[in-house]
Structure 1
Amino acid sequence: MPLRVSACSPAQNAKPVVNRPTADFSPSIWGERFISYTPADEIARAHKEKQVEDLKEKVRRRLITAAGNPSQQLNYIDAIQRLGVAYHFEREIEEALKHMYDNYYDVEHKDDDLYNVSLQFRLLRQQGFNLSCDVFNKFKDQKGGFQESLINDVRGMLGLYEATHIRERFEQTRGEVVYIYHKHEASHDKALLKLAKLDFNLMQSLHKEELSNLSRWHTELGFTVKISFARDRVVEVYFFVLAMYFEPQYSRARRILTKVLYIISTIDDMYDAYGSLEEHKLFAEMIERWDINSIDQLPEHMKVIYQALLDVYKEIEEEMDKEGKAYSFHHAKEAMKIQIGAYFDEAQWFHEGNVPTIDKYMQVARVSSSLPLTTVIFFIGMDEIITKEAFEWVYNDPFTIASCLIARLMNDMTSHKFEQERGHVASAIECYVKQYSVSKQQAYDEFNKQIANAWKDINQGFLRPTSMPVPILTGVLNLT
């Protein structure tokens, strides 16, 4: 129900008291356990890094020498990818798969039997769906859709091997995959296995160091004490970010994005569960102006959050200025303005008791899902592959629109019951049910169809020519 403002006393000029509901989030379970991490001895680390370089050369040689046997080479590439070390061999893998595609699995010179079709699908899967759409185009029916019976037969031929590897990718940690490769792959490559273990340990040390630094920043920020109404989830946010990219070259991107997402999570809770509409409007207007001089106009809890946001953005601005990328900082600010604007729209609907149409809701909620903001901020921490065009792509390409739709609809279907119990803006479920006078189950069924179609758009986005470099697409895919 709408929040009411009542006077705290009859005294003239007394400040009104705002009835502030809370979501009663559970406290963090981590405490300060990650702050005390001590990095490994520099000499020991240097020794491991030297071992990694030597092993990389051995793996690279085997990958190249296996070119005469495409099946063997494909399986070796599969092992490299499953063990999480493919980022060391991106160029070699790309060249090997392109060579196989051009010389062994050319659809123009193969019969259309299921065996050859299955090889095509397997090759495309190995290359991240980014080689060519020729295979898919060849097996479309006249209506433009895929022949489901053919694809089902191909899935059957790929069999348990494929199913097992897909499950490994989505359900098992990298450490578990290393263990399985060691125990169950009779012909496992000793150099590759040792590389995977050493690389895993080095990456784990790096991630622990990053989390330790972020935990220290979080403690100094003081949100746990000053902002009691919001989720305290800096550790979870870091692992959320880690799921996008774990590689060492994205360390800065993880640091920046974790800080921004932790603060935006707090702002999200503030708009959802704390404060009056007048306060929310004031905060949104200050963000829109990027006003750094009028912070005293804000309520105390908003001052703390706003100052933390400005401090993180100052950190981003200084780093971008050093690299001559002022345009990146501009897009970071614009993304935040758009994000807070979406939060305010939803807050206004809630305070007014408004249930918008599903189309109007999705227009705003795709942004409030934080997918666009997350993508923009992550771009800032990446290297020279990020261009000005990439920032525009975030809000306009079917690939990212599909990503936002998936995130928003799955989020709403999962959380709307809890959110409606505590008082929250109508979700996609309530909007659809009201507009079409259907049951919640019918709304779920419709949204599941939309999600399935959105995944097709994402798969299509990986087929060449791609709208953006594959590392960009991969980050958004992992985020989704």
Structure 2
Amino acid sequence: MLSAVTSLTPYKTGPKQHLNHAHPHTKLFQNKTVTTSDRLKWRTTDPLKRDRFLCKCVSRPLLQRTPEDTDVKHAKLVEGVRELISNDTNDVKFDDLLMVDTLERLGLDYLYEDEINLILEQCHIQLINNDLLQHPNLYEVSLCFRILRQNGYRVSADIFEQFKGKNDEFVDNLKSDIRGLMELYEASHLCIEGDDILDEAAIFSSHMLQKSLNFLDDKEAKMVKYTLENPHRRNFTSFSLHKDFDAKILKELAELESRMVKSIRKTEINEIIRWWDDLGLGKELNLARNQPLKWYIVPMVSLSNPTLSQQRIDLTKTVYLIYIIDDIFDIYGSLSELTLLTEAVSMWDTGPVEQLPYYAKLTFKALYDTTNEIACRVYEKHGFNPINSLRNSWVTLFDAFLVEAKWFASGYIPKSEEYLKNGMVSTGLQVFLVHMFFLLGDGVTEEDAYLIDNDHGIVSSGSKILRLTDDLVSEQYENQDGHNGSYVKCLLMEHEDCSRNLVQEQVKQMISDEWKCLNKEFLFPNPFSKHFLKGSVKLARLVPLVYGYKQNNSFDQIEEHINSFI
């Protein structure tokens, strides 16, 4: 997922390789490149040395179980916070929603899933019956709408009509309600197709908040600017405890939970590093990226629940393989070799691989063994063997890589829609989501497998958000003139009368429209589990975080972000 920076590992000079195939596709958050020589030059000037990351995990022994006194303290704090949560689920108050928002943002919601579900269900009922907010104001209505929508409840956007005047525009006296405008802006990002009033709310609130920057003090202005640049639905944002209620015990629990979770993460990373070393691919593919911490952040963010440790480990292995295969297509393989390797994956058979170099045999074996091991683990835990779905996801990815390799080799320039259709697959997001789906136990029947195998809206919307964001940011900030593919460049070639700025604005609108689709797919009724739905949305929310570092041309922030989690 953090491949915006994974092209920066230093390399030693190895045996002669096929360096004539640096074609332009972007995998799971992969950085755009110009040519192979440029790519290797960037890697060798990496300010983030791999050893700086690895030493923080490998040099420490595997952390044992937390001390008993820590477990006891944790249990007491968990129960203490539980006592703060309303027991009267027949009469939910606004403070209960503040508590839900706080628990979710602090990553403590997994400890109180039953209580949160009861609060949200009753909140939805009371909202429909106009029995939730005694004196509704912009702040309370917006927060209530956001919390319910982001948890899958179908709340009508018409709830904001009460804040419009006779001219069908938002009333002018709202401009001084900074807290309300900030929450309205946040709520507008839960928009789905047809929510015209939320489109209007986004324009109105952002405009008013921008104007407010001229008269707010520095602290307030900084908070408003941060909200405008990082809406919660589409980003990973920092969070301060609500000051509306005493939350000292929440802070204590959050800090203790953070220390305990960090020990789990370090143990998982050590497990992943051992697995990678045992494969031996790092020695054979000396030009391939080897940055386990950066890859681990993808499943770590998607599945933050500490109890899902094995799932995170298996998904990190999946991300590893996506990157390694990407590098093989970019750096190592000739077109004939890549074609044979793709055929071997399609057949799921070692026969065609026997004709290939050792690195290709080793890569196929790693893919074959790891995928089968994950399938066996799913079968043992959930009683369904997903090997066909897992294998097909890899086949689809290899096919997309090969298409791009052929385009590059022949000099063919695809039409924009042709490029985008294939580019959505070559992000690798489908492979990740299919594996996550089965590892979470969502797929226990053939019908379930069919659901995820056939490019469900959650998969396609997430893939399109990733592809378009990557291409847009690369076009805006990297100013590359190489052979790399770009949807923006394809559009410019097809519409020579359009300016670059106009095309970029069109792509931004397409990203916004896909978020509307993703928001709709998240609403009840839904065939997916909450873990899968939230993991999918978190994956999409991770995109701006990664590409924000591209804009700044600095990797210091990303190092700080990774270190904050481990």
Instruction: Give me the whole-angstrom Cα distance separating, in 1, the residues matched to 2:400 and 2:539.
Output: 20
Unaligned runs of 5+ in 2: 1-15, 22-35, 162-167, 169-192, 213-219, 541-566
Instruction: Give me the whole-angstrom Cα distance separating, in 2, the residues matched to 1:163 and 1:96.
Output: 32
Instruction: Give me the whole-angstrom Cα distance separating, in 2, the residues matched to 1:313 and 1:94.
Output: 35
Q: Could you tell me which residue of structure 2 aligns to residue 8 of structure 1? A: none
Q: In terms of mean alpha carbon deviation, does 269-278 or 319-328 score higher?
A: 319-328
- Of 339, 347, 351, 2:405 maps to 347
Equivalent runs, 1:273-422 vs 2, <5 Å: 273-323=331-381, 325-383=383-441, 388-394=446-452, 395-415=454-474, 421=481
| 1:465/1:200 CA distance change after superposition, 3 Å | same
Contact 2:302 2:539 in 1 (8 A): yes
- Of 96, 100, 122, 2:143 maps to 122
Q: Could you tell me which residue of structure 2 aligns to residue 30 of structure 1? A: 50
Q: 1:373: how far off?
A: 0.7
Q: In terms of mean alpha carbon deviation, does 220-229 or 327-336 score higher?
A: 220-229
The amino acid across from 1:30 in the alignment is: R
Identity level (%): 23
Secondary structure of the residue aligned to 2:72 is helix
Instruction: Give me the whole-angstrom Cα distance separating, in 2, the residues matched to 1:136 and 1:272.
Output: 47
Contact 2:415 2:490 in 1 (8 A): yes
The amino acid across from 2:508 in the alignment is: N
Equivalent runs, 1:43-442 vs 2, <5 Å: 44-65=66-87, 70-103=93-126, 105-106=127-128, 115=136, 119-136=140-157, 144-147=194-197, 148-150=199-201, 170=235, 177=239, 180-181=240-241, 185=243, 187-323=245-381, 325-383=383-441, 388-394=446-452, 395-415=454-474, 421=481, 423-424=483-484, 426-437=485-496, 438-442=498-502
| 1:251/1:270 CA distance change after superposition, 3 Å | same
Encode CA deviations 1:166-205: one digit per residue, 9 max, x unaligned: 95964556xxx5xx54xx9485333322221221111111
Encode CA deviations 1:263-284: one digit per residue, 9 max, x unaligned: 1111112213332211111111
Instruction: Give me the whole-angstrom Cα distance separating, in 2, the residues matched to 1:110 and 1:56.
Output: 27
Q: 1:453: how far off?
A: 0.7
| 1:165/1:439 CA distance change after superposition, 3 Å | closer
The amino acid across from 1:392 in the alignment is: Y
Secondary structure of the residue aligned to 1:327 is coil
1:463 aligns with 2:523: yes
Contact 2:152 2:523 in 1 (8 A): yes
Q: 1:55: how far off?
A: 1.9
Contact 2:397 2:428 in 1 (8 A): yes
Q: Using structure 1 for the length normalisation, give the TM-score.
A: 0.83
| 1:400/1:121 CA distance change after superposition, 3 Å | farther
Aligned residues: 452
Contact 1:335 1:372 in 2 (8 A): yes
Q: 1:381: how far off?
A: 2.0
| 1:145/1:172 CA distance change after superposition, 3 Å | closer
Q: Using structure 2 for the length normalisation, give the TM-score.
A: 0.71
The amino acid across from 2:142 in the alignment is: F
Instruction: Give me the whole-angstrom Cα distance separating, in 1, the residues matched to 2:350 and 2:480.
Output: 35
Secondary structure of the residue aligned to 2:58 is coil
Contact 2:382 2:444 in 1 (8 A): no
- Of 435, 439, 451, 2:511 maps to 451
Contact 2:440 2:532 in 1 (8 A): no
Instruction: Give me the whole-angstrom Cα distance separating, in 2, the residues matched to 1:386 and 1:471.
Output: 15
| 1:450/1:251 CA distance change after superposition, 3 Å | same
Instruction: Give me the whole-angstrom Cα distance separating, in 1, the residues matched to 2:481 and 2:281.
Output: 26
Q: 1:214: how far off?
A: 0.8
Contact 1:284 1:340 in 2 (8 A): yes
Contact 1:385 1:469 in 2 (8 A): no
